[in-house]
Structure 1
Amino acid sequence: MSTDAGGINPSQAHEEITQSRHERRRRETRERIANTALALFGERGYDAVTIAEIAEAADVAKQTVVNHFPAKEDLLLAWHRPVEADLIDMIDQLPLSTPLPEFLKEELPRMFAGLSEVPEAPDREDPRTAVDERFAGVGAIIQNSPALLDALRLRGSRYQDDLAAILSDRVPAHLGPVAARATAAFILTTVTAMINEAARLRSEGRTPEQIIATLTDTVGRALDILDGGIGGIGETAAPSE
């Protein structure tokens, strides 16, 4: 097979261009579906909108929606990535030499200070304004849907499984998988408590800096339990057989 003067295979170049176009169209389709779903959820509520209606409004086949978003809640999570998912990814990439409680004490307050902030005075001429305004309503859509709240709770149990698997290398091996799962549950419960506390502080008009200061103190005291617990059990000798 011949190549041009620059050493590029024309067939390969054509294939790369074709793949690039295909990927671009795929992203555009996914974005159109997500935009359409969010608009419909905002107008009628999450529970009242079906996948078929989203497909019709987005001018795609129902199967196309399912291919991009296998579960209905995925349509909303395209706009609202749970903080638990971000935290699990961060812990997964954390070197084993980094103490987990210290990392959480430092990182969690920063994560929650800006959580669910509503854009201020959006520029009406900015084409991103409509997206920003709809994004600001995601929280309300979630809170007004019992079905979505149930789906997110179920997803939360999967997060606990994922985090427990990651923590298995951090918890003393002789304690087994139950200790790793218990530690994962403690961390995720702390995250939920911090989400609620951050929302309360924000509703009182606290600034991000004030929220960080309050949450730093709050999570520090909560994670002292985790630190002391892991440190204590880590020094306990394995039971003799």
Structure 2
Amino acid sequence: MSTDASGADRPQPQQEGAPSRHERRRRQTRERIATTALALFSERGYDAVTIADVAEAADVAKQTVVNHFPAKEDLLFAWHRPVEADVIDMVDQLPLSASLPAFLKDELPRLFAYLPELPQAPDGGDPRTAVDDRLAGVVTIIQNSPALQDALRLRGTRYQEDLAAILSDRVPAHLGAVAARAIAAFVLTTVSAMVEEAARLRGAGRSPEQIVATLTDTVGRALDILDTGIGNTGGSATPPQDT
């Protein structure tokens, strides 16, 4: 704020696209809460930490935590957005005229080549090292928490329902909702397998380019099944006769 000749406060012009002061403070509060939660989960375990514990450690009201993170697991997913959510967003924006299997063959491997971008490491080092450390911590927290694993399974069910609803426009009408759910399950299972394979390759020291090449080959063979299946669903096949 600046002051004009009459002494009244006058807002300064804001650059187009630049976040407002309120938005910057909101982001800083959200980041502080998420960082605090990750530290507490790592120290005590996910199941032993409450929303009230996070609020107290972050020096904010409990409702502030809930406003930013409606569910407890959201505190953890702030550091690790499930890739399934990215896939659903990509498919939702794909034109109906585009081939789903061809699109997934091209795009899925790229999702796993690089780790998600997070803030620079505190010591000014390679941010990818900080990302590796954080993601390793997230994986450990998940592995040690049955409650969090249950939450992940529930989210997986919701992801499948969301993707099936999007795919319903791509599935021939005579195949119905069951086929849409089956294709959604196939796609998300393929994604889960790719997550595990990308992690294995990354742990083996493979470069992003090598990861893309390997995943392109493996996911291509997997999605050929989907492509062939969709291509042969015209309904013209003669059902087998009883003998």
TM-score tier after normalising by the smaller chain length: 0.7 to 0.9
Residues in 2 aligned to 1:153 and 1:50: alpha-carbon distance in whole angstroms: 21
Partner in structure 1 of residue 32 of structure 2:
32
Shift of 1:110: 1.3
Aligned partners of 2:164 and 2:181 also within 8 Å: yes
Partner in structure 1 of residue 3 of structure 2:
none
How many residues end up aligned between the 2 structures? 225
Residue 137 of structure 1 aligns to a residue whose secondary structure is helix
Q: CA offsets per residue over residues 61-90 of structure 1, 9 Å max, x none?
A: 112211211110000111111100001001
- Alignment gaps of 5+ in structure 1: 1-9
Residue 170 of structure 2 aligns to a residue whose secondary structure is coil
Shift of 1:203: 2.4
Q: What amino acid sits opposite 1:92 in the alignment?
A: D
Percent identity of equivalent pairs: 74
**What is the aligned-residue RMSD (CA, Å)?**
3.2
Q: What amino acid sits opposite 2:38 in the alignment?
A: L
Residue 182 of structure 2 aligns to a residue whose secondary structure is helix
Partner in structure 2 of residue 44 of structure 1:
44
Partner in structure 1 of residue 171 of structure 2:
171
Q: What amino acid sits opposite 1:124 in the alignment?
A: D
Q: What amino acid sits opposite 2:53 in the alignment?
A: E
Summarize the Cα distance change of 1:140–1:39 in structure 2 as closer, same or farther, 3 Å threshold.
same
TM-score normalised by structure 1 residue count: 0.82
Partner in structure 2 of residue 137 of structure 1:
137
Summarize the Cα distance change of 1:60–1:117 in structure 2 as closer, same or farther, 3 Å threshold.
closer
Q: How does 1:3-152 map to 2 (within 5 A)?
A: 20-115=20-115, 124-125=123-124, 132=131, 133-134=133-134, 136-152=136-152
Residues in 2 aligned to 1:192 and 1:130: alpha-carbon distance in whole angstroms: 23
Summarize the Cα distance change of 1:42–1:116 in structure 2 as closer, same or farther, 3 Å threshold.
farther
More helix by share: 1
Aligned partners of 1:33 and 1:55 also within 8 Å: yes
